[in-house]
Amino acid sequence: LKAWTQVGDLTHELKEKEVLIRGRAQTTRAVGKNMAFVVVREKGFTVQCVVTARPDVVSKQMVKFAAGLSRESIVDIHGVVSVPSIAIKGTTQQVEIQVSKLYCVDKAMPTLPINIEDASRSEKEIEEALEAGEQLVRVNQDTRLNYRVLDFRTSANQGIFRIQCQVCNIFRQFLLSEDFVEIHTPKLIAGSSEGGSAVFKLDYKGQAACLAQSPQLHKQMAICGDFGRVFEIGPVFRAEDSYTHRHLCEFTGLDVEMEIKQHYTEVMDIVDHLFVTMFDHLNKKCSKYLEAVGRQYPFEPLKYLPKTLRLRFEEGVQMLKEAGVEIDPYGDLNTESERKLGQLVLEKYGTEFYILHRYPLAVRPFYTMPCYDDPKYSNSFDVFIRGEEIISGAQRVHVPEFLVERAQACGIDVSTISTYIDSFRYGAPPHGGFGAGLERVVMLFCGLNNIRKTSLFPRDPLRIAP
């Protein structure tokens, strides 16, 4: 038999068929000298393989060898699919394999720093196991991150990073179909791009430089160069001092910039169509992975509308006020009020995904265009999932004199961004865009509680390895 079957594809339909699989020996168990069970895992899916001593097919030594395999060793198994009369507990697949041949392709060391079975349990399963007096090691976040390669092997993590891959895939496919051009802006830059101090400074052959805290300036310059509509999927560096559940020092930015013909709502239209398309796709095409994540970290599917709700900042402030939360109408929302507003919006409009627009100008970056009708506000927006920000966006100032004025008002040293400012002196179309954080999109779509779960090798103020 030469064709390989994936463990995730082993279903009742394959009953009595011969199959060949490759996976990891997750657990092994001997029953007397004539029988052993090996649970084999591949990409987060598991199946029970039964090794029974049979004359001319499986020797007793083979049974012993199977029972003695070290956990996480890689095995090839050849056998016949069978359907047991009772439901199988503890594996994702509801069939077994009656083994005729078993080869160990690569042996793992006998004891590992993380037991994948223990690391795959939900909080509820851990509590039940402990109550039942089971021996079990609770695997904390730091241990998981220290031994990330092993941690990746849980079904939940296999799901998370396959979902993440699809988020990027849909982001790219959708924008390409809307005539956007994919660009790659430099990550080594001369000055801060967002204002503020959260940059990693470095020495660039004797010149002061920093790691880009956003592709902001260069994506706008691409618009000045007549690319019309651009996007980028790339690393973003922020020297965050805060150790929170949603801030990383390096994350993946999903950035968009586009000419606008009349109004900044054209940018919000793209956000609306893009993200509704993405969520529909994830629900339809990634259900296996969403289930795997939900088994370990239970969550409710995201509630969103076919046409995304757009709420004015002022209306948000009013809703909070009516709920007894006093906030400065020209200030920013803090984490708590963002959460509260998320709840109020869900109750009133039945959605956990919405756009809040026309933010006060004072709380937005220098490049943000003020509202024509009331310059205390701006043509800007944030987008929320489950009460937490995933996107910031806005129309930009494209008039160079005004841009200089705004940069100075925000305390920015204009000399560090002079080539950016000059780009607008050669004639620039009205434009706008937005930036989303990939790790936040996945974290919040899956209702996860920490951004480190959706970053492959997270970088935060306390961690730069592995």
Which residues lie near ligand ATP (CB under 6 A)?
242, 244, 332, 334-335, 389, 392
Q: Is 246 a catalytic residue?
A: yes
Residue 247 known to be catalytic = yes
Identity of the residue, 21 or 444, whose beta carbon is nearer to ligand ATP in the bound complex: 444
Nearest to 40 by CA among 96, 100, 111: 96
Residue with tokens 């904390």: 140
Binding site partner of 251, from ligand AMO, ligand ATP, none, Cβ cut-off 5-8 A by kind: ligand AMO
* Residue 339 dihedral angles phi and psi, to the nearest 5°: -60, -45
Closest separation between CB of residue 440 and ligand AMO, Å? 4
Among 134, 83, 77, residue whose Cα is nearest residue 102 = 77
Question: Which residue has 């893009």 as its token pair?
Answer: 274
Active site residue 24: no
Minimum Å gap between C-beta 377 and ligand AMO is 16
Is 240 a known active-site residue?
Answer: yes
What is the nearest approach in angstroms of ligand AMO to the Cβ of residue 112? Answer: 31
Return the number of the residue (389 or 460) whose C-beta is nearest ligand ATP: 389
24 vs 364, beta carbon nearer ligand ATP: 364
Helix (H) or strand (E) segment spanning residue 165 = helix 155-177
d(CA 45, CA 458): 25
How far are the Cα atoms of 176, 194, 264, 284, 315 from residue 381, in angstroms, in the given order? 23, 16, 9, 28, 13
Could you confirm whether 71 is annotated as catalytic? no
Backbone angles phi, psi at 112, to 5 degrees: -115, 155
Q: Which is nearer to ligand ATP, 244 or 419 (CB)?
A: 244
State how far the Cα of 210 lies from the Cα of 340, in Å rounded to an integer: 36
Q: How far is the CB of 416 from ligand AMO (least distance, A)?
A: 16
Q: How far is the CB of 247 from ligand AMO (least distance, A)?
A: 4
Closest to ligand AMO by CB, 248 vs 345, is 248
Which of the residues 148, 238, 357, 431 is marked catalytic? 238
Nearest to ligand AMO of 100, 265 (CB atom): 265
d(CA 234, CA 97): 43
Under 8 Å between Cβ of 210 and 192: yes
Nearest residue to ligand AMO, by Cβ distance, number only: 437
E strand map for 218-352 = 229-237, 250-259, 309-312
Task: Return the one option of ligand ATP, ligand AMO, none that residue 335 interacts with (CB less than 5 to 8 A, by type).
Answer: ligand ATP
Q: How far is the CB of 338 from ligand ATP (least distance, A)?
A: 7
Catalytic residue among 22, 172, 247, 339: 247
Closest approach, Cβ 241 to ligand ATP, in A, equals 8
Between strands 35-42 and 18-31, the pairing is antiparallel
The residue whose Cβ lies closest to ligand ATP is 242
**Binding partner of residue 214 among ligand AMO, ligand ATP, none, CB under 5 to 8 Å per kind?**
ligand AMO
Of the residues 440, 452, 455, 459, only one is catalytic, namely 440
DSSP 331-346: S---HHHHHHHHHHHH
Tell me whether residue 452 is one of the annotated catalytic residues. no
Q: Which residues, 6 or more positions from 389, have their beta carbon under 8 angstroms from its beta carbon?
A: 338, 382, 383, 440
**Main-chain dihedrals φ then ψ at residue 234, nearest 5 degrees:** -160, 170
Whether 121 is catalytic is: no
Pick the catalytic residue: 389, 396, 398, 439?
389
DSSP 8-state symbol, 327: -
Nearer CB in complex with ligand ATP: 269/332: 332
Q: Select the binding partner of residue 8 from ligand ATP, ligand AMO, none (C-beta < 5 to 8 A, by kind).
A: none
Output DSSP code: residue 248: -
Which C-beta is closer to ligand ATP: that of 151 or that of 389? 389
From residue 197, alpha-carbon distances to 79, 113, 238 in Å are 61, 39, 9
CB 425 within 8 A of CB 400: yes
Q: Which helix (H) or strand (E) holds 207?
A: strand 207-211
Least gap, CB of 440 to ligand ATP (angstroms): 8
Residue 433 interaction partner, one of ligand ATP, ligand AMO, none, beta carbon < 5-8 Å per kind: ligand AMO
The catalytically annotated residue of 337, 392, 423, 455 is 392
Nearer CB in complex with ligand AMO: 45/174 = 174
Q: How far is CA 158 from the centre of its chain?
A: 12
Which entry of 18, 125, 240, 266 is annotated as an active-site residue? 240
The H-or-E segment that residue 384 falls in is: strand 380-385
CB of 407 to ligand ATP, least distance (A): 18
DSSP β-bridge partners for residue 435: 255, 392
Q: Which residues bind ligand AMO (CB under 6 A)?
A: 194, 214, 216, 238, 240, 247-248, 251, 253, 255, 389-394, 433-437, 439-440, 451
Question: Could you say which of ligand ATP, ligand AMO, none residue 332 binds, taking C-beta under 5 to 8 angstroms by partner kind?
Answer: ligand ATP
Quote the longest CA-to-CA distance of the chain. 89
CB-CB contact of 216 with 393 (8 Å):
no
**Which residues are the active-site residues?**
238, 240, 246-247, 389, 392, 440
